[in-house]
Amino acid sequence: MTIKITNTRIFFRYLVTFVIALALLCDASKQVAADEQTIISYINSGNKKSTKGDYKGAISELTKAIEMNSIYPVLQGLAYELRALNRLALRGISDKKGICFDLRQASSLGIQSATTTFYELCDH
């Protein structure tokens, strides 16, 4: 298995995704129901833990968001993409199967950056 992109590019993409996620969540939080607020809270909590280097904690929070089966696919897709990036940060490419699964799910839910990362990192 070869890595097709550098860690720097992945980190930069993660940073851009994080900024977009914050903007999306700020806008979305004004108009969603209580369950969606909980999903947003899990995603925000995962982002906070990730920025502190607590990748296991971030993965746990993002998994909770995914398990809520949001009626807003973009929120669930975002949680999948962020979980994939946290898995990559925590375990590197050794968790390629899990990373690629999450990226594929995020891509199927309309997250374009996940599609790009999937095609660069995963066997397709």
The confidence score (pLDDT) of residue 31 equals: 53
Q: What is the pLDDT of residues 1-40, one digit of tens each?
A: 444 555 666 766 776 677 677 666 665 555 556 777 888 8
10 residue type, one letter? I
**pTM listed for this prediction:** 0.74
The full set of domain ranges for the chain reads 7-119
- Residues 55 and 51: their CA atoms lie apart, in Å, by 8
Average pLDDT over residues 43-66: 94
- How many alpha carbons fall within 13 Å on the CB side of residue 68? 26
CATH of 7-119, one of 1.10.260, 1.25.40, 1.10.287, 3.30.450: 1.25.40
